[in-house]
Amino acid sequence: MKKSIGINTFLFPLPSVVVNTYDESGKANMMTASWTGVVNSSPSMISVSLRQATYTHDLIIKRQAFTVSIPSKEHVLEMDYVGTLSGKRVDKFDQTGLTPIKSDLVDAPYVSEFPLTLECKLVKYEKLGLHTLFIAEVVDVKIDEAYLNEKGMPDMKKIDPVAYAHGEREYYEIGNYIGKANKMWQSTLLNEVMNTEAKKDIIQLVEEYYEKMDTGQPFSEFIKLINWSEFVMINGDLKLDSPKKYASWYSDVLVTMFNRKHTVEKLTIDSVDDKTYKVKMDMHFRANEWTPGEATSKTIQVRGKIEWLVSRDPETSKMRIDKYTIKEA
């Protein structure tokens, strides 16, 4: 049973950003804010809510512009300092050693050392009470190339932003990748396409196999999931075609990889014949990899295409894996 704890703005998590402006003398100023968000996609618009008592509040109105810089976790101390003292009393850029860069599109600076900046032109503002809501159009986004992914988009893991927990006033780091938005549900029984007896059993087999793999269950737990008379696992030059070879490979996995997590991003199931099915999966794999003898491990993330052949065991009526192929990684 839920308990009422009163009226408050407990939305979790909130972004921790730095809002940048120029003061009347042209000196660069910045403040930390978390009351911010996306309000429109076309044109691209964001909002920032600031207390009227803040130094930045009136500067945005006078300059009709501001920038929003997103710091990495490595700059959390500077970000915290910037959110504590007023620009009326101290030069925050000078005190933190951060570098202001003049925007070439709006009348505001941004922080050179922070990975990503949104350059914003004020559209409207409205006093709501203690805070004023500023709505601005994003006229450009600046990002250091090192923080882009292979598709040329911002990579949140590389940016490593900081989340803010309102209430206890605490900072948190962002967690691990867990799946594709608007895609995850399609690989589950929430998808009506999967609503047949065979497909339900196959999805259960997929979930059970990778849950056992990720939680490090003993080899004996995999016996009933695999049709050993037909089974072969192929990954490049790796070929496992017996319980002994599989057990040896799995033992190495347990020793060298921990914090394992397989995430199915896309799954399709097609009939091969009246008893065999082909299962295709786009898979994201994350783990900490350790080389025996070394003092530290490294985090690895791999996307691959996996293909299974599965069939129903005539004795148990359970689906089992006949063949496991990693198409690419």
Same structural domain, 69 and 164 = yes
pLDDT class for 177, splitting at 50, 70, 90?
Answer: confident
| Residue-wise pLDDT tens digits, 89-137 | 999 999 999 999 999 999 999 999 999 999 999 999 999 999 999 999 9
**What is the pLDDT averaged over residues 274-284?**
94
Report the relative pairing of strands 116-127 and 109-111 from DSSP bridges. unpaired
Same structural domain, 163 and 253 = no
In a domain, 62, yes or no: yes
Query: Mean pLDDT: which of 1-5, 130-134, 292-296 is highest?
Result: 130-134
| Three-class DSSP category at 143 | strand
Question: Residue 180: its pLDDT value, please?
Answer: 86
Q: What is the mean pLDDT of the chain?
A: 94
- Backbone angles phi and psi of 63, in degrees to 5: -90, -15
Q: Is 259 left (phi over 0), alpha (psi -120 to 50) or beta?
A: left
d(CA 88, CA 23): 9
Same structural domain, 112 and 141 = yes
Q: Is the pLDDT of residue 260 over 70?
A: yes
Same structural domain, 309 and 276 = yes
Same structural domain, 139 and 226 = no
How many domains, the chain?
A: 2
Burial class (CB in 10 A: 0-12, 13-18, 19+), 11: exposed
Question: Residue 329: its pLDDT value, please?
Answer: 59
Q: Where are the alpha helices (DSSP H) in 127-238?
A: 156-159, 197-214
| Residue-wise pLDDT tens digits, 230-244 | 999 999 999 999 999
Question: Residue 187: its pLDDT value, please?
Answer: 84
What percent of the chain has pLDDT above 70? 100
Q: Which domain holds residue 221?
A: 184-328
Q: Which of 120, 152, 173 represents a domain boundary (last residue)?
A: 173
Query: The domain spanning residue 224 has which CATH number?
Result: 3.10.450.50
Q: Is the pLDDT of residue 310 over 80?
A: yes
Longest pairwise C-alpha distance within the chain:
83
Query: The domain spanning residue 67 has which CATH number?
Result: 2.30.110.10
Same structural domain, 148 and 72 = yes
d(CA 158, CA 55): 32
Q: Which of 173, 196, 223 represents a domain boundary (last residue)?
A: 173
Same structural domain, 205 and 122 = no
**What is the pLDDT averaged over residues 160-164?**
96
Paired with 309 in beta bridges are 278, 323
In a domain, 280, yes or no: yes
**What is the pLDDT averaged over residues 67-73?**
97
In a domain, 136, yes or no: yes
| Residue-wise pLDDT tens digits, 202-213 | 999 999 999 999
